[in-house]
Structure 1
Amino acid sequence: MDEIDNESPQSLGGKKRAENLSAGQRHEIASRAAKVRWAEASTLPKATHIGSLKIGNSDIPCAVLSDGTRLLTQAGFLGALGRSTKPKGKSQVATDGLPPFLATKSIIPLITREIFDATVPISFVTSSGGKAHGYRADLLPMVCDLFLEARSQGLLTAQQAQIAEKSEVLMRALAKVGIVALVDEATGFQQERDRDELHRLLSVYLSEERLAWAKRFPDEFYKQIYRLKGWAWPVGKGKTPLLGHITNDVVYERLPTGVIEKLRELNPTVEETKRRKHKHHQFLSAEVGQPDLRDHILQIIPIMKISKDWNAFKRHLDVAFPKVGTQFDMLPEQ
């Protein structure tokens, strides 16, 4: 029996009508259908970052959406659990509102509201403009934990026992790293997330307007620098211009990441004098930045006092307040 014999009368009738349509009519119908699809897609979140997440022996396609949702594609999620990656029906939801791999009476009592809510598939637009479905990334460890608990209670069927074995492998792989962090790294969203966090930090750490000058560095700070360097403490105000470089090194460059770069932008060097017109601390916010500066200075002065010379001080300082990317030896002083 050939394929057409298996078609319903309605299907055959539809094909017959389609054959009788003019080219213009077919184009109009296709255009209307496309508009419907585009209207639906315009309301869906878009995948801004995509990647493939390797957990154990599984490679799971993943994405970060425009609304910040981290998800695993539906096919990847099912494949990681050892299920078919081509579920029947686009929503993969059973009559009880659960995906088939969870819709078993024996394990339903173990399903929390959190798991139930997370099993709703999320539709999104891919980077190529197509429509796809996925699950929240944090559903995976919850499902794995559920199957391991059900196995311990002897509630699983033979097929579900295979899911429990997969779950054990996945949970071991996830033991040291959170699923959200893994997705961020796999998709490249981590760098953008870090930039957003830096922007939020700088918005509260720095002042939008330059504040009036006030004495922020106690004389003891400078006296200790002179002692550690073996310099004679000057009488009057004739301090060495090297103090600017030293202060950047031991103070400003050890404040939160990004602060010193932004300070240099807000307080640039004047070309004619090769000096800065203002003090960096005048651009730190009164609520967050300046208190943090004060605390940092108060913490490094005791380190200065216990150090016999500048090299010893720098070793102690690098341990207590390392710069980003600094590597140092933990060897005791000779």
Structure 2
Amino acid sequence: MDWDKLRIFHAVADAGSLTHAGEALHLSQSAVSRQIRALEESLDTTLFHRHARGLILTEQGELLFEATSAMNTRLETATARIRDSEDEVFGELKVTTTFAFGTLWLAPRLGTLYDKYPDLKIDLMLEERVLDLPMREADVAIRMKEPSQADLIRRRLMNIRMRLYASPDYLAQFGRPETLADLASHRLISQSPSAPQVLAGALLIQQLLAQNVRSTLTVNNYYGVLQAVLFNLGIGVLPDYLSEDFPNMERVLPEVESVEVPVFLAYPEELRHSKRIAAFRDFVLEEVIAYRKRRAEERTAIG
């Protein structure tokens, strides 16, 4: 089967349009159309239903697209491994983690990595959904639980807890709660217990809401919770790693916190020798070690 025609077919199926596929491939629409017709003739089948709004795969087209997608993944893996055989760290690295950790902890620290490897191209994918690393939906993941997928190399980075924080201005105006029951007279800011998040956070929020809190603000991510706390709207449930970068927040009810949440870094076994992975892994570990050291120094100073 003609590899070039399969490459063009995959681009068309992915884009759903002859025009968009042609732009991606730097070919005219007519050239793309000719290649698709030739492929259909060679297979003696129809691969696309033509509609005014674009192209839709037929059942036979779906089968072929599954095959070309698998081929494309394998080619990307081979390309990455070939490039990683070079001495320099460059090229694209697909990193996935949660919205909160990626936005509030990882992204602000990436300058250190770019300073060392300016030719690295990072695609940071922030979502609660667990991407499939063996299928190369991402190259490396930072997750709030130990990965269960097979054929992954994993490294425990640190443990975090969800705690209560408020701004000094809010506490000056509304007072500092001394007991859980005191939360009833304050506004609680948190994610909804039903929102995608670590179980430890959801359980803590349920415990707090059981105190008959009179006013609440729920946000579907910790970035929104943080902003509400910083703008004096109430007492927020936030991960403890934020206390270093936002030292003006004050911890409230220090005896109240979630159980520990492990943070893991993971990547596919087949990328064990990837220099891009190694560069990112070492960068994260160095940042975590520095973070742990500062936290230990803070605890010693307080004690």
TM-score tier by shorter-chain length is under 0.3
Q: Which has the higher strand share?
A: 2
Kindly indicate whether structure 1 or structure 2 has the higher relative contact order, using CA contacts under 8 Å at least 6 residues apart: 2
Q: TM-score, normalised by structure 1?
A: 0.23
Please identify the structure whose Cα radius of gyration is greater. Answer: 1
